[in-house]
A and B are shown apart, each in its own frame.
Chain A
Amino acid sequence: MSYWLNQFALVLLTTCRDILPIAAIIIGFQLLIIRKPIAHPKKTLIGFLYVVLGIAFFLEGLEMALFPLGKLMATQLTTPEFLSVNSGEQNVGWQAYFWIYVFAASIGFATALAEPSLLAVALKAEQISGGTIRALGLRIAVAVGVAFGLTLGTFRIVTGIELYYFIIAGYVVVLIETLFSPKIIIGLAYDIGGVTTSTVTVPLVTALGLQLAEAVPGRNPLLDGFGLVAFACLFPIIAVLSYVQLAQWLGKRSISSKP
């Protein structure tokens, strides 16, 4: 217990160091440039304390729950017994890792659909498009995008294909779609990639990828373990741009089909 307390105190101290720059920037600018006293100094101070405590607890919890959980899933879904191959077998086909793909897709779909900041963005999009884009449709599109991205990402880790082939191909698709998309939605669609990967999902997905690269024979976590987050950011952009085009096309068709 005392060891744990020591550890936690250390985490608290490091967190203070991490939060210091932004606190200094905000307070410095407020006092020196804007030259107004802070409106609620006491409330602000308590808020900063909450932030420091919150980050410390969060990091500790990640270490105890989310990282082990990601690693555990990757390990359990790749044991030779689970894959029903002989242990020590080096040439396991990528099809054998079926359940890893299913797991990655489910995690991606579920977390994206439940993401509160995505809901806010989707409602905003429905507003500015005047109803052609439905909030629920957009959220499902994003969730499908994240699920597909993570599935492809785990497939890449299993096969060890170079990461940047996928990323370059993905961005080319994004650029082509951009040319045909309504301007008003482009900025929002691009931002959605960053919005979907929340503070909780990123560590879990990172741990999953690293452990998967460790478990699959012939893969090196240093070279192959990362990249899942990049996929989870890229594919929602493609999904949203596609959805917008589909929604527009359907909207146009229903207008022209009216007598």
Chain B
Amino acid sequence: MLKNRFIKQLFNSCLDLAPILAVVLIFQIFIIRQPLPDVTSLVIGALFVILGLTLFIQGLEQSLFPLGEAMAYAFARKGSLFWLLTFAFCLGFGTTVAEPALIAVAEQAANIASKGGMIEQTNTARDSYALGLRISVALSVGFAILIGVIRIIRGWPLYYLIIGGYCGVIILTPFAPAEIIGIAYDSGGVTTSTITVPLVTALGVGLATAIKGRNPMVDGFGLIAFASLTPIIFVMAYGMIR
């Protein structure tokens, strides 16, 4: 049973990588027409990605997801407001810190920043910059989930939040240092992937199901959208105060 699921997941991970590899191969063979350098390293790396993704998702499905989802439903049903909000914030923060794509992108950003002379060219400076980015993004996602939960409870329309957040982005952009704007805008999309989306969706849908007069289809969604908007604001703020 477990073995079967593992193989199925392995297959899914291959499927995740397949379109990228297919497009790259087609371009290499038909358009660039040059031998690929360092093929062994690429192949081993691709195998690592597949294996890593498989283990990661398999692990999530037997540890974090069942616990997190059960808890999200439990808190949504009867927990006191204070604990519900604390849980929402912690959930957003914790899942974002562990998000692998964000770890990788923050590291790239730190490398570029140190190459471009924005921060010192030492490992410590790079590490602290990357960690600073990730902490700001994590705080912003926590904040977004917190506000999103209040929205579901109060029944505010989603676009109030989106328009509000969007205005924040417009107001802050002229004041933010030019070097941080690109990474800030990107961090919104980076945050919401493998760990965050399922847990946050579970919280949203659970909450909308538990509260009378809320439609889980209309009110349960939208948390992710708001959580991709706030990182832009928080990362720009990080660039300003750093």
Contacts and interface: CB of A to CB of B under 8 A. Distances in A.
Contacts of B125: none
Classify the secondary structure of B's interface with A.
helix
B9 to A, nearest CB: 10
Contacts of B36: 72
Contacts of A23: 64
B104 A62 contact: yes
A253 interface: no
B62 to A, nearest CB: 4
Contacts of B170: 164, 168
Contacts of B115: 221-222
Classify the secondary structure of A's interface with B.
helix
A50 B59 contact: yes
B225 A194 contact: yes
A16 B163 CA distance: 38
User: B interface, how many residues as a size bin?
Assistant: 35 or more
Given A171-B166, A230-B188, A110 B20 contact: yes
Contacts of B56: 50-51, 54-55, 58
A203 B230 CA distance: 21
Nearest to A34: B74
A25 B97 contact: no
A107 interface: yes
Nearest to B18: A114
Interface residues of A, number: 100
Contact of A198 (B16, B37, B51, B59): B16
B158 A107 contact: no
A23 B45 CA distance: 28
Contact of A111 (B20, B44, B162): B20
Nearest to A164: B173
Given A22-B95, A66-B45, A226-B182, 9 more contacts: A18-B98, A25-B93, A63-B45, A69-B20, A73-B27, A186-B158, A193-B225, A194-B189, A220-B116
Interface of B: 12, 15-20, 22-24, 26-27, 31-32, 34, 36-38, 41-64, 66-68, 71, 74, 79, 83, 87, 90-91, 93-95, 97-101, 103-105, 108-109, 112-113, 115-116, 118, 158-159, 162-163, 166, 169-170, 173, 178-179, 181-183, 185-186, 188-195, 197, 215, 217-225, 227-228
Q: Which 3 A-B pairs have the closest CB atoms?
A: A65-B45, A47-B63, A50-B59
Interface of A: 18-19, 21-27, 29-30, 33-34, 38-39, 43-69, 72-73, 76-77, 82, 99, 103, 106-107, 110-111, 113-117, 128, 163-164, 167-168, 171, 175, 178, 183-184, 186-188, 190-191, 193-195, 197-204, 206-207, 210, 220-230, 232-233
